[in-house]
Chains A and B, each alone.
Chain A
Amino acid sequence: MLLKRMKRQGCGLKVFEIFRIALRGLLTNKLRSLLTMLGVIIGVGSVITLVSIGEGVRASVSEQIQGLGSNIILVTPGKGTVGINSSSMGGALSRLTYDDALAVERKAGTVSSVAPVIESSATVEYREDRKFTLITGTTESYNVVRNAPVAAGGFITRGDIRSMRAVAVVGDTVRKNLFPGANPLGKTIKINNKNYKVIGVMERKGPTLTIDNDDRVFIPITVAEQIFDTKQVNMMFVRSINPESVSDAVSDTKRIISGRHGKRDFTVSEQEDILDTFQGIMGTLTGMLGGIAGVSLVVGGIGIMNIMLVTVTERTREIGIRKAVGAKRREILAQFLLESVFISALGGIIGIGAGFAGARALVNIIPKLPTVVSPWSVVVAFLFALLVGLFFGIYPARKAAGLNPIEALRYE
């Protein structure tokens, strides 16, 4: 019905004309319009940039987690959040031991191998050079389970573990730092002032965000137990015989370790759980970043309202004239509402460009911080900007439309 009425009044034509009038209103004060737009530009730009950081981190870490392989199960000491809890972060609640790992490997038919890990930082020396790095005490299963082959030499063997041999396998970064241009195989390095013979060099893995995965030295787990004076395992990687048997392997692992401990004081998580948990955390974080940036968009909206109120006051006489020649309430309303929506829409479009530029600039400034501009953040930020323009435009536009024409014509 409304449509019919609009048609009868030649409304399609009028809508177009009011569009033009609103646009002209915007262009008469270009600097002011631009400054008002700036709030929206910064708002939309920062939403897109900040969300791109969150999305980038999420994508990059998710890829690493998926790199674990779909048939990998992670066992961590203590009951807590999947994958991340106080013990795995270096706490001391652990009752998870190398023996638990051996038991799982031996008894669970669905498990092909288990790699327990004891990690701690220590100083590594070779002649004059020294370096603070991560020492990983593990078993021969590690390079199979974690899919981490050696580039030269060999990995830790069962014999090394049994005999507690002082041998070490160095990561790519350690090799570069301590043996620049030289072959480290057969050389002797010092870890906490104790001599170790280098028997292998790991293949380069590349960094995860700011964590250098190649800045490590591997030693037999039994040696690690001794030098770090602990039986606690930080975590163990369990590999099921095939991807289909992951859930069976999970229940077998739970049963076996529970049987040994008498209670469930550990956490078993599949790669998928870790991924879910991580993505959940990142989702919240990204949402938070976006929300904070969204606040600036609301502030931009208040700026629009402010300027539109000034504009309405300045143009009181114009409004009076338009009303005197027959402009209806809703035509005045539309004119000013469109003006504020134009500001926010144009600001939104420029802001999208600013967001892409910001995301790119961040990668240049901080090379290890990946950014991924997600399409949904662009759409949401733009629509939110439009909504802000509409919302904060309503009050000034209503004020304009409600002016008494007689008083408006008298306004100086």
Chain B
Amino acid sequence: MVVHIEGMDKIYGRGDSKVSALKKINLDIYQGEIMAIMGPSGSGKSTLMNIIGFLDRPTFGIYEFDGRRVDKLNDNKLAELRNRHIGFVFQNFNLLPRLSALANVELPMIYAGVSARKRLRVAKELLEVVGLKERLKHKPNELSGGQKQRVAIARALVNHPSILLADEPTGNLDSKSGAEIINLFDTLNSIGVTVVLVTHDREVAMKTDRIIYLRDGKIVSDTKIRNLPENYPGYALKTNETAGMRIEGL
């Protein structure tokens, strides 16, 4: 179990303007899963994703990550966890516009204190994995939407995250490149990457193992689409030395 959430509330504001974004959430996410979080806008999908990804803290309740309580950690510790264990993919890509694809992918490694030489090697390898071998020096505005999202995925994978969190990753893409991105997530999942997708798209959600449906801050359904095999290979990413080894067989 990567994520264990129990009785979690998220409340914004105080007094009269108090808004409960999440109410009594219980959720376990397993190693090697690929799951979708669905629900109408304002149902708390993004809030839940932000908390899972350590961008935000729960107001009440328990959050255990890799068996460790993390709901009360300070900003520095959360930044460290984001850096080491979380890969984010956003709807609007969120690449730094002045940096090349390569430099964008290197970014998380800078904050992890990885040496320049290793950063370059890993970034090159991962861009190759996502199919952008020929676009290393291109700036984001010289790339198509699908290519930008591939750069973002490469960046998310760079520190061997425990979970890949994707918030509407196909929202800004045409259906063809959207499908390609989903296939990429699928491929990554097949080699053991745990993926959580926030999506509106039923078709996208149906490709995952499990769908969580949120309404008004509550989980109203938790459905398994595919059965996880017993003793799922689990492929602990962090046990592998380099990204290069990990992606063999892609």
Chain A residues packing against B (C-beta within 8 Å): 9-11, 13-14, 17, 21, 24, 28, 317-318, 320-331, 405-406, 409
Contacts and interface: CB of A to CB of B under 8 A. Distances in A.
A325 to B, nearest CB: 4
A91 B76 CA distance: 75
B190 to A, nearest CB: 25
A326 B115 contact: no
Top-10 shortest CB links A-B: A326-B83, A10-B113, A325-B108, A326-B111, A328-B79, A326-B82, A17-B110, A327-B111, A321-B94, A405-B55
Contacts of A321: 94-96, 107
Contacts of B56: 406
Contacts of A324: 53, 55, 82, 88, 94
Interface string B46-67: 0000100101100000000000
Given A14-B111, A328-B80, A328-B111, A406 B75 contact: no
Interface of B: 50, 53, 55-56, 75-76, 79-80, 82-84, 88, 90, 94-96, 98, 107-108, 110-115, 155, 159
Contacts of B114: 10
Contacts of A322: 107, 111
A317 B94 CA distance: 8
Contacts of B155: 325
B113 A11 contact: yes
A326 B108 contact: yes
Interface centre among A320, A325, A328 (most CB of B within 10 A): A325
B83 A325 contact: yes
Contacts of B95: 321
A21 B98 CA distance: 11
Contacts of B55: 323-324, 405-406
Nearest to A27: B98
Given A317-B94, A405-B55, A406-B55, A323 B115 contact: no
14 contacts: A10-B114, A11-B113, A21-B110, A28-B98, A320-B94, A321-B94, A324-B82, A325-B108, A326-B108, A327-B79, A329-B75, A406-B50, A406-B55, A406-B56
Contacts of A318: 96
B104 to A, nearest CB: 9
B94 A323 contact: no
A14 B110 contact: yes
A329 B113 contact: no
B84 A326 contact: yes
A329 B88 CA distance: 19
A320 B76 CA distance: 15
- Identify whether the interface residues of A are mostly helix, strand, loop, or mixed: helix
Given A28-B98, A324-B55, A331 B111 contact: yes
A9 B111 CA distance: 9
A405 B55 CA distance: 7
Contacts of A14: 110-111, 113
Contacts of A406: 50, 55-56
Nearest to B155: A325
Contacts, number: 66
Contacts of B79: 323, 326-329
Contacts of A10: 112-114
Contacts of B113: 9-11, 13-14
Contacts of B107: 321-322, 325
A18 to B, nearest CB: 8
B101 to A, nearest CB: 14
Contacts of B110: 14, 17, 21
Nearest to B80: A326
Nearest to A315: B96
Contact of A409 (B76, B94, B111, B159): B94
B94 A13 contact: no
Interface centre among B95, B110, B114 (most CB of A within 10 A): B110
A326 B82 CA distance: 5
A406 B90 CA distance: 12
A190 B155 CA distance: 97
Given A14-B110, A409-B94, A325 B88 contact: yes
Contacts of B159: 326
A325 B82 contact: yes
B85 to A, nearest CB: 9
Contacts of B82: 323-326
Contacts of B94: 317, 320-321, 324, 409
A20 to B, nearest CB: 9
Interface centre among B75, B98, B113, B159 (most CB of A within 10 A): B113
A226 B43 CA distance: 109
Contacts of A21: 110
Given A325-B155, A405-B55, A13 B80 contact: no
A232 to B, nearest CB: 79
A326 B75 CA distance: 10
A406 to B, nearest CB: 5
A323 B114 CA distance: 17
A19 to B, nearest CB: 11
Nearest to A331: B111
B79 to A, nearest CB: 4
Contacts of B96: 318, 321
Contacts of A317: 94
A326 B112 contact: yes
A324 B53 CA distance: 9
A138 to B, nearest CB: 78
Given A9-B113, A327-B79, A329-B75, A409 B98 contact: no
Contacts of B98: 24, 28
A303 B21 CA distance: 42
A401 B129 CA distance: 34
B84 to A, nearest CB: 7
A327 B76 CA distance: 9
A14 B53 CA distance: 23
